[in-house]
Amino acid sequence: MAKFSRIFLISFIFILSGIATIAQVNAVTFGKNRIQYKKFKWQFYQTQNFNVYFYGGGQELAKYTAQAAEKELPQIEAAAEYSLQRRANIIIYNEYADMKQTNIGLESDLLNTGSVTRLVNNKMLVYYDANHYNLRRQIRQGIADIITKNVLFGDDLGEVASNQTLLDLPVWLTDGYVAYLGENWSTDLDDELKSEILSSNYTKFSKFAFEKPLLAGHAFWYYIEEKYKKENVTYFLYLARIYKNLNKASRQITKLTFKQLQAEFMEYQDDKYYKDIARRKAYPKGNYVEGFDISKRLNYYRFNVNPNKKNNDYVVTQFKKGITRLILNSGYENKTLLKYGNRSYEASVNPSYPLVAWDPKGTRISVIYTTEGKLKLFVYDVLSNLKQYTFDITDKFDQVQDVKYMLDSRTLLISAVKNGHADIYTFAIEKEKVTQITNDVYDDLDATFVSFPGKTGIIYSSNRPSPSAKSSDTVLPSNNRFNVFLITNFGDKPELNQISQLTNLKYGDARFPTPYNSNHFTFVSDENGIGNRYAGFFTTKAEGLDTLVLIGDDILRNPTQKEVDSTLRAYKKTDIDSVAVVAISSDSAYTFPLSNYPSSLAESRVAGDNNQLSEVTRQSDEKVLYKMKIDENTLRNRNVSATPTEYAKKLMRESRLTKVNAANGKVTISTSVSDTAKKQNDFFQNEFRQLQHREFTRIPNVYRTGQAGMIHQADESFDEIIHVAKGSRLSAITINC
């Protein structure tokens, strides 16, 4: 457990009237109360600038949030050229479904009456979706929202009323500015903007801003950064506030009227994206399964095709006018397996569920979903049209990120969250038994079973810094990019997992890894600015045996007598805990792109163990589902070059990892091939020395203590947040509501 030298623990029943600002408000407009299935017992950590409120199972998330908020605040204050005026409140929910039970935020943030008003502008609601990067972005945008509203409207009721009357800025402009401060741009945003611009649906910026206000506003401010320098972003908003006139502000910075600036924006984006797609190849030939028209009130997502080669059945989630349906398309006929919801906006639909997995034979479908505050699982038999099993797994997981089958129809492979940690589990359906595979503070996502010649295991995506990254109560999740890892010979002790790192991307993330053929795996990466398909050629070589000595939390590899003795003294023990004799091997992966798509893959999933996978592409207002065979020619030739987008080039120019020719500004980056065997620490959990065939034996009095020989990653600990709060306190306060 982390040691908090300057933390005071306070626990009491919070019955003051101010509870309405933090917990569930008791008085809201008639008809606006949300149904609450859980009773939250709130506590909070207090730092110099934030109160971070959390409830059961959210302590680790609160620690991360407190540190991330303090770390990000100075940068956002510098960008906005304005300081946080008083301590802000961050309310962290363990998952999206819990956040949707709150009544906070149902009223107008600016015009609430009573004691709520002074605090409502200084609060933010965030949730964890198994990815700490997304949580960090929410924190940044929440801080930016508080500061921006204080800048525009003031800090008390009188200022709000007067400024709101006099200052009439478009919502897309202010909300876009908040989003820009939270994350100036990203590959996902760039791809979404490209899709909208090239759809030919918008001839004028005004129509674009009406249909897609947040994207339009965000893109507008990033355009100001691109074309008119970054320092003019906040200056533009400042001039608009001072002049109370957008034309004057625009003329001073761009020499154009605001309407002319908007027209220039549309012309610039149109030209940029048409030039970009001209350099790219169309989507590869595959088995076209179905096309789906999408709109503001109709969308399709989480496509999952039958793994049987001769079967084009698929399962898809449909959102239509607020109703969510899980549809099985079999023989060109639709059958609804699950239906819930009511008329609502798409943003209010839970983005995490339902989750679906076909068994290897294509005869069973497992479905995970939430209802009335419960996490449910059922197994549907396609042949008998019956639900064979139904489970309530609420007590097993806080939320589930992904689900697939292992080798047979009896075991599920699940990426799930428990107590704020995203780890990998297996679930034996008939026995209802959960086995934890990984146990660390990093986000372990997209797990899939894989079998290579001489080695089987689980391939997954993680933001862990390295295979040997330190994980303990004092370590917080990293801000590293996601890479592909392989875990083999997993057993009942996650701390002894044998982990290999298979990718080491310079830019972007590696997500959705799956087996491709007997020697290759595949994954999706936005390293070039677009979510393209990549492949990795896997090799392994046996290297002998190692002896592992377990003492407390330390694992000593081939230790000397002196190392064992010193570790025993450190733990005040007279005997070691256990010894493991393991086989080691050298693992490496050779990665290269398989595609150079004009836009990112919307979804990708393995389709059984028959050398198949599914891809979903989005082209304007249509999504297309493909069932793909292995592209053996590209695997053999390795001749695809994934050309960077303009945004990716900008990131590369700003990175120390990239060489830029000063004469012509040409970006040089080696994105075609990489070999993970060239970069490793000397520790048993890496791809040079992979462990196999563990055997544990209790051997008393063999060794006496030692110094742990692990190489720990230099991660930040929660205790480091203390130095930020000079003289302040980190408190945990209990609130019953």
For every residue of 347-411, which 3-state class applies, written as one string?
A: HHCCCCCCEEEECCCCCEEEEEEEECCEEEEEEEECCCCEEEEEEECCCCCCEEEEEEECCCCCE
Using the predicted structure, report yes or no on whether residue 413 has a pLDDT greater than 70: yes
Please state, in angstroms and as integers, the Cα–Cα distance from residue 75 to each residue in 82, 84, 326, following that order: 11, 12, 43
| Predicted local distance difference test score (pLDDT) of residue 585 | 73
Report d(CA 551, CA 704) in Å as an integer.
10
| Predicted local distance difference test score (pLDDT) of residue 610 | 65
Domain boundaries, the chain: 10-28+42-167, 168-278
Tokens of 164: 């709101």
Which ranges of 280-328 would DSSP assign to H, the alpha helix? none
**How confident is residue 156, by pLDDT bands cut at 50, 70 and 90?**
low
HSE (side-chain half, CA atoms, 13 Å) at 45: 27
Backbone angles phi, psi at 402, to 5 degrees: -160, 155
Q: What integer is the mean pLDDT of 345-374? A: 87
Which residues have a Cβ under 8 Å from the Cβ of 675 and sit 6 or more positions away?
588, 589, 590
- Does the pTM surpass 0.85? The reply is no
- Only one residue has tokens 């930020």, namely 724
Concatenated DSSP letters for 203-246? SSHHHHHHHSHHHHHHHHHHHHHHHH-THHHHHHHHHHHHHS-H
| Predicted local distance difference test score (pLDDT) of residue 489 | 66
Report d(CA 361, CA 99) in Å as an integer.
38
pLDDT digits (tens, 9 = 90+) for 80-130: 999 998 899 999 999 998 888 877 655 444 333 232 223 345 788 999 999
Which residues have a Cβ under 8 Å from the Cβ of 72 and sit 6 or more positions away?
136, 139, 140, 143
Residue 297 CB neighbours (<10 A)? 12
| Predicted local distance difference test score (pLDDT) of residue 350 | 79
Cβ atoms of residues 535 and 672 within 8 Å: no
% helix / strand / coil in the chain, to the nearest 5?
A: 25, 35, 40
Report d(CA 597, CA 618) in Å as an integer.
11
pLDDT digits (tens, 9 = 90+) for 648-668: 999 998 886 555 443 343 444
| Predicted local distance difference test score (pLDDT) of residue 632 | 85
| Amino acid of residue 412 | L
| Amino acid of residue 36 | Q
100: three-class secondary structure by DSSP: coil
Torsion of CA 66, 71, 74, 80, to 10 degrees: -80
Q: What integer is the mean pLDDT of 431-447? A: 93
Using the predicted structure, report yes or no on whether residue 438 has a pLDDT greater than 50: yes
Nearest CA-CA partner of 502 in 470, 544, 455: 455
Cβ atoms of residues 353 and 369 within 8 Å: yes
Task: Classify residue 541 as left (phi > 0), alpha (psi -120 to 50) or beta.
Answer: beta
CA 558 to chain centre: 37
Tokens of 546: 């190692």
Q: What integer is the mean pLDDT of 615-621? A: 84
| Enclosing H/E stretch for 511 | strand 510-515
Using the predicted structure, report yes or no on whether residue 362 has a pLDDT greater than 60: yes
Using the predicted structure, report yes or no on whether residue 157 has a pLDDT greater than 60: no
Q: Which of 73-82, 212-221, 232-241, 699-708 has the lowest mean pLDDT?
A: 699-708
Strand-pair partners of 372: none
Report d(CA 526, CA 539) in Å as an integer.
24
Nearest CA-CA partner of 690 in 445, 491, 487, 405: 487
| Predicted local distance difference test score (pLDDT) of residue 712 | 29
| Predicted local distance difference test score (pLDDT) of residue 618 | 84
pLDDT digits (tens, 9 = 90+) for 238-275: 999 888 899 999 999 999 999 999 999 999 999 999 99
Beta strand 510-515 pairing with 520-525: antiparallel
Report d(CA 10, CA 25) in Å as an integer.
23
